[in-house]
Amino acid sequence: MKVVQYFFLISFFLFASAGFPQQKINSPNVVLIITDDQGYGDLGTHGNPHIHTPTIDAFAAESVRFTNFYVSPVCAPTRASLMTGRYSLRTGIRDTYNGGAMMAGSEITIAELLRAKGYATGIFGKWHLGDNYPMRPSDQGFEESLIHLAGGMGQVGDISTYFQGEKSYFDPILWHNNQQQKYQGYCSDIFASEAIKFIEKNKDRPFFTYLAFNAPHTPLQVPEEYYQRYKDIDPSAGFGGDGRPFYPMSEKDKEDARKVYAMVENIDDNLAKLFSKLEELGIEENTIVIFMTDNGPQQQRYLAGMKGRKGTVYQGGEKVPFFIRYPAGFTGNRDISSLSAHLDILPTLADLCGLDVPSDRKIDGQSMLPLISNSGNATADRSYFSYWTRKYPELYENISLQKSGWKLVGNTGYSSEIEDFELYDLSKDPFEKQNLAKKHSSKAMELKSEMDHLIAELVKEENLIHPPLIQIGYEAENPVVLNRNDASGERGIWDQENILGYWRVAITPGVYDIRFKFIKPVPPLGKMTLEIGNLANVLSDKSESEIDILEMKGVRLEQTEGDLLPFYTVGGKRYFPFWVELEKKK
């Protein structure tokens, strides 16, 4: 008998008498909570004396705690693996922008699996896996979505909050079921309250609530009442006496930490409301709740002694909290030290909810349920690969592989000798202080061989060779607004004016009205050029003053798969649009 079948059989006999019918036991609700750039040390339960997180700390005490849980060093790759159980490169995700944060529409997500089983599915907060059809939450299994665009509110890709600047987290324009809608209040309060409404609305059927806070990601904006609680603390005080490293903090780091701690406490208060609602509705016992974060902290602060932070493959960049509670399913208040990762969440929820894991593609994750059921720490002979560089993987830059307590790190060139790598025995050196690459070169070579094999496999993935295309002219999304987060071209497209950029698109034939919005007004009497495939359309601007929006009306576009490249030229200078809107008229 399969482990999962045995688990559900035992669960039924144990809990049926408590009033949980068999259908409910096999269809638990799921609440998946993920925060943005909250590090391992940004919790009271992990030894931080400065931050006030009573709700999360109490939740951790009731949960099964995976103490060696890993994610990707940055957000979009983490979210792709979380949703699919696959290494992000398999899904088409290779960056946080540069056109690399679009997950292929062919990927199968947790939401799609649960929705097919009759679950209500809702996302509230950050998606960051593509802002256009067929990559939006509504295209990937979520029947209700309330999100911001791109990687963060106030960022250049989030066209609806960018111009709010230092107030982008307050009274924002968000996207509710793909339509812009104005909201009042602070972003974390909005996302949590809308998630609670979704739970109330669907209390009589199984539901999947994905609450993906964008906080405490930059810009570090927080309600004043929360900031006042931390404005006088010294976030660097009280550390270093327990033998764990504590890395120096600049004055800016300290001020950033005060704001981050305030943002996290706000999240903690919102989770108190959510957990109270589950209890009030009488569904707490039959609800799986997961709390995790997406990567390490962006700024330097307390990190429980770990080395590195967001963006690095050291422990501080990719080891995060992971707490899971399911009162009707298993006993909490336990630690499990086995190597585990974001890849494991889809297979785990599949086991707990009675879903079939997709069999037509490689699933890299493993179910955590056998570890939970057996209350053991026996580590399977598995490895975990991690990397991050801008645009595409670089040999062997910011890349790692760990297995059986050993971790190989590459921060070197493509042709480097094994002695140029770093090797750590995490069982004895969890803070990555002693490089053993020379002393144990054979172990380093063993891990590098596996790393090389996996890299060679991943870079040949179809979704990486042929990246996802934004579909233009389809009924599912018309008009389409292309934002800078999903623009390819030169590395690091952000808010620059003179930069080469384009979008990878698939266009259906027809007549289009096209608008080009610029970050700042451009000089008049220039030329707007739109290159698609083998044809360019050019508009001569006859304005007498500066203008920030140009329009091309009645443009006939043929069926095309390729690059959509727009630029405005005047006086020898070239301007790349802030966004481009294409509306198919006929």
Residue 506: inside a domain: yes
Q: Are residues 207 and 68 in the same domain?
A: yes
* CB of 152 closer than 8 Å to CB of 217: yes
Is the domain of 532 the same as that of 451? no
Q: Are residues 233 and 334 in the same domain?
A: yes
Outline where DSSP puts E strands in 404-500.
Answer: 406-411, 422-425, 470-472, 480-483, 488-489
pLDDT (tens digit, 0 to 9) for every residue of the chain, 586 residues total? 333 333 333 343 333 333 333 334 569 999 999 999 999 999 999 999 999 999 999 999 999 999 999 999 999 999 999 999 999 999 999 999 999 999 999 999 999 999 999 999 999 999 999 999 999 999 999 999 999 999 999 999 999 999 999 999 999 999 999 999 999 999 999 999 999 999 999 999 999 999 999 999 999 999 999 999 999 999 999 998 888 999 999 999 999 999 999 999 999 999 999 999 999 999 999 999 999 999 999 999 999 999 999 999 999 999 999 999 999 999 999 999 999 999 999 999 999 999 999 999 999 999 999 999 985 555 568 999 999 999 889 999 999 999 999 999 999 999 999 999 999 999 999 999 999 999 999 999 999 999 999 999 999 999 999 999 999 999 999 999 999 999 999 989 999 999 999 999 999 999 999 999 999 999 999 999 999 988 999 999 999 999 999 999 999 999 999 999 999 999 999 999 999 999 999 9
- Tell me which of 464, 485, 503 is where a domain ends: 464
Tokens 């006999």 sit at which residue?
13
- How many other C-beta atoms can be found within 10 angstroms of the C-beta atom of residue 245? 15
CB 227 within 8 A of CB 258: yes
Residue 55 is part of which domain span?
A: 3-370
Residue 94's contacts (CB-CB under 8 Å, 6 or more residues apart) are: 77, 88, 100, 391, 392, 393, 464
Residues 538 and 419 in one domain: no
What CATH number should be reported for the domain holding residue 517? 2.60.120.260
Among residues 410, 436, 464, the one where a domain terminates is 464
Distance (Å, rounded) from C-alpha 342 to C-alpha 320?
A: 10
| Residue given tokens 């623009």 in the structure block | 487
- Clarify whether residues 476 and 521 are in a common domain: yes
**Residues 500, 481 share a domain:** yes
Q: Annotate 518-537 with DSSP letters as a single string.
A: EEEEEPSS-EEEEEETTEEE
- Do 357 and 324 share a structural domain? yes
**Collapsed DSSP state (helix, strand, coil) of residue 126:** strand
Q: Are residues 460 and 474 in the same domain?
A: no
Q: Is residue 378 part of a domain?
A: no
Looking at the fold, whether 175 and 273 belong to one and the same domain comes out as yes
CATH number, position 221: 3.40.720.10
Report d(CA 313, CA 74) in Å as an integer.
10
CA pair distance 55, 341, nearest whole angstrom? 24
Looking at the fold, whether 285 and 342 belong to one and the same domain comes out as yes
Angle at 555 (CA atoms; ends 549, 559), nearest 5 degrees: 120
Angle between helices 345-353 and 3-15 (to 10 degrees): 50
> Is the domain of 148 the same as that of 291?
yes
Contact 510, 560 (CB under 8 A): no
How many domains does the chain contain in total? 3
**Closest listed residue to residue 565, CA positions, set 523, 539, 537, 527:** 537
Q: Is residue 376 a part of any domain in this protein? A: no
